[in-house]
Structure 1
Amino acid sequence: MSNFEVPGVFAAVVAGSFLKHVGLRLTRNRNVKEYVGTVSQINVYPLKSAKNLQNVTTANITTQGLICDGVGDRHWMVTRKGHYQNMSAFQRLILIQTTKEGSFFRLDAEGMEPLRLPLDPEVTGDNLVEVKVKFVPQRAVDCGDAAAQWISTFLKKEGLRLNYSPPSLSKRFSTDVPKEWTTDAKPGEEVAFQDFAHCMIMCDSSVEELSKRVQRNVPAIQFRPNVLVSGTTPFDEDTWKYVFIGKHIKMRFIDDCQRCIITTIDTINAEKDKQGQPLKTLKTFRCKEPFGPMKPVMGIHTNTEKEGTVNVGDPVVQYL
């Protein structure tokens, strides 16, 4: 081989290596990155088991859940003797409308005067209490006697209190919530009054498929998703392990969302469906191990790995 032939051979080797590297990289990207749809709806539920804020088109997804204009998702909660109360105990909770009004958090319900609470009340020795959610204790602010009387009157039960979880107080850890199976929650991941996770994601097509099987329209809001995604196949969310939303947000799957009797409560009149729908139908095709025949799944629980702003219309990408 002459001296003039060596550079040509070397160039060919380099070019071949480069193309191989690029090819492997593109193949790897095709294997792990997939556009799955767009954000169609954002829901923030400030008071646990009450109505969502209306007309939300943007919110921040944080390491404490969704926050919309200073109002946090499930940062207020009704308690009785320190234990959390939800729709399974008080169906009328779903009739309470939540609104931000200036520097106040406002509750409205039929037959009641509006209740206005400071968005972020001062934490003092007098209002600091311990509450329990899913048997796990955490500190919270008691919102006072007037708020307690308002809640007790509307829910027709004496002895109820209204509590708030301010940003300055430590939260529960997802890993402390008792489960009979292993989840993908990581140590140090905190939740306010959410059951378990920062954000519940569900697909529009999943709700549509369920509606076909029930043979009537099932409102997505009965499943209380935080983020709804359009443009997918039914139950596509089952396979998502890492979810990127918009430019910055990164969410990580930590568990399937097991469904209960709350899904049978009508969000308009607070009445349970007499046939137990749509839960009855879910049990016929959405049960899997290790949850058993009484806990069908729909939607996924996710925790936040990278915070950011979510908007209706944002692209959703999954990484396997």
Structure 2
Amino acid sequence: MSDNQTRVIVGTAVAVGTLTVAGLAYLYNSKKAEESIPTKWKKVGKIIDLNCFPVKSCAPIKCDSFDCHLLGIEYESLFDRCFVISQGKKQTTARAYPKMVLIQPTVVDNELHLSAPDMPDFVLNLDELRTGSINGKVECWYSKVKGIDAGDDIANWLSEFIVGKPGKLRLLYYPYAYPTKGVSKNDREWKAYRGDDAGTYHDKTSYMLINQASIDELNAHLDHVVKPLQFRPNLVIKGPGAYDEDNWKWIKVGESVVYRVLKPCTRCIFTNINPETGVRHPKREPLETLVKNRSIIPNQTPVMGTQIGIRVTGRISVGDDVYINDESEA
């Protein structure tokens, strides 16, 4: 069976009891760590910002409300990190090319529009893209993830802006309705983290949350102010104390959307890139300060924010109340 056939019939196959190997693995991973969702909650704050990053390492699309699905936040039929830029067989990110954060995606009438400084806008037809063959593969942090190559024209546009030469980079689109990346060996110690939390082309999990108070506490140690966007969160919350999120297990947003806290979010040199200028900080900040103050996991890079996986899907909005499980629940 081809990848294209699998993509089309996986839902039907589940319904009639005839699963592909990929479907069996997916269902196994989704069930192996099932836990009871809490019934008692306590309010800790509110959502103050939401971000969807349809193209990995590029600028976000901001909106007051987003639908939240298994693959991540959705905006106009595109999921968070559903596009990845590759060089050869490996993903290319702003860790190597900081100016990638200046590429701004928008979605208009089922077209992906990309804009960048000193470049003409590029328009990609999403309907045509989705009918293409699954013909690409990219290494995404220990996993090889398949996709649909978006073609030469957008590849050359990205190559021209990012590296200054056409033909160096490619753009892949994630075609599946479920995660395929799996949990890397390095993360299997986190018992709540399961295969269907891996998202599309995400580094780790399909959702990441930042607490504004934690950013404020970090800024108290810096000679310049960093904003939450420097850490590329999907959800930004206000209300809890600094680093309270380190100890959470469950999060509910609004009346119904529920997330499981999976692991602290470890950090790298990406945090040193100013999202407004695409320039690294000359003194490697804030990462250097995080190394001193937030290296809380043995043999791991420092931590800021928390990686979460969705357990009850739905819609979330800026201004929604945020709850955590009440530890007094029996």
The answer to whether the superposition gives a TM-score over 0.5 is yes
> TM-score normalized by structure 2?
0.82
Deviation at 1:31, TM superposition (A): 11
For residues 81-160 of structure 1, the aligned pairs below 5 Å read 81-120=88-127, 121-125=129-133, 128-156=135-163, 157=165, 158-160=167-169
Q: 1:220 aligns with which of 213, 228, 239?
A: 228
Instruction: Return the letter of the residue paired with 1:204.
Output: Q
Deviation at 1:281, TM superposition (A): 1.0
Instruction: Return the letter of the residue paired with 2:91.
Output: Y
Equivalents in 2 of 1:178, 1:312: separation in Å?
A: 35
The alpha-carbon distance between structure 1 residues 204 and 188, as it changes in their structure 2 partners (threshold 3 A), is closer
Equivalents in 2 of 1:283, 1:133: separation in Å?
A: 25
Q: Report what 2:175 is aligned to.
A: 166
Q: 1:252 aligns with which of 250, 257, 260?
A: 260
Q: Report what 1:298 is aligned to.
A: 304
Q: Report what 1:308 is aligned to.
A: 314
| Residue aligned with 2:130, SS | coil
Deviation at 1:299, TM superposition (A): 0.4
> Which deviations, in whole Å up to 9, do the C-alpha atoms of 1:158-198 show, x marking residues without a partner?
42101111245x533442x2416612212444410111111
| Residue aligned with 2:221, SS | helix
In the alignment, structure 2 segments of 5+ residues that lack a partner are: 1-37
Determine if contact 1:203/1:228 at 8 Å carries over to the other structure. Answer: yes
Instruction: Return the letter of the residue paired with 2:130.
Output: E
Q: Report what 1:318 is aligned to.
A: 324
Q: 2:43 aligns with which of 35, 39, 45?
A: 35
In the alignment, structure 1 segments of 5+ residues that lack a partner are: 1-29
Deviation at 1:269, TM superposition (A): 1.8
Determine if contact 2:215/2:226 at 8 Å carries over to the other structure. Answer: yes
Deviation at 1:33, TM superposition (A): 2.7
For residues 181-200 of structure 1, the aligned pairs below 5 Å read 182-183=189-190, 184-200=192-208
Q: Report what 1:211 is aligned to.
A: 219
> Which deviations, in whole Å up to 9, do the C-alpha atoms of 1:126-154 show, x marking residues without a partner?
x5222221121122010000011001101
Equivalents in 1 of 2:266, 2:84: separation in Å?
A: 21
Q: How many residues align?
A: 285
Deviation at 1:225, TM superposition (A): 0.7
Q: Report what 2:69 is aligned to.
A: 62
Task: Report the RMSD for the aligned CA atoms in angstroms.
Answer: 1.9
Instruction: Return the letter of the residue paired with 1:227.
Output: L
Identity of aligned residues (%): 26
Equivalents in 2 of 1:180, 1:138: separation in Å?
A: 17
The alpha-carbon distance between structure 1 residues 180 and 201, as it changes in their structure 2 partners (threshold 3 A), is closer
Asked if 1:201 corresponds to 2:209, the answer is: yes
The alpha-carbon distance between structure 1 residues 66 and 104, as it changes in their structure 2 partners (threshold 3 A), is same
The alpha-carbon distance between structure 1 residues 188 and 228, as it changes in their structure 2 partners (threshold 3 A), is closer
Q: Report what 1:5 is aligned to.
A: none
For residues 214-293 of structure 1, the aligned pairs below 5 Å read 214-292=222-300
> Which deviations, in whole Å up to 9, do the C-alpha atoms of 1:95-145 show, x marking residues without a partner?
1011111210111011211111123523434x5222221121122010000
Instruction: Return the letter of the residue paired with 1:96.
Output: I
Equivalents in 2 of 1:110, 1:93: separation in Å?
A: 11
Deviation at 1:241, TM superposition (A): 0.7
Deviation at 1:259, TM superposition (A): 0.7
The alpha-carbon distance between structure 1 residues 42 and 289, as it changes in their structure 2 partners (threshold 3 A), is same
Determine if contact 2:58/2:103 at 8 Å carries over to the other structure. Answer: yes
Determine if contact 1:138/1:171 at 8 Å carries over to the other structure. Answer: no
Determine if contact 1:134/1:178 at 8 Å carries over to the other structure. Answer: no
> TM-score normalized by structure 1?
0.84
Equivalents in 1 of 2:88, 2:147: separation in Å?
A: 13
Deviation at 1:52, TM superposition (A): 0.5
Equivalents in 2 of 1:91, 1:238: separation in Å?
A: 29
Say which one has the larger Rg: 1
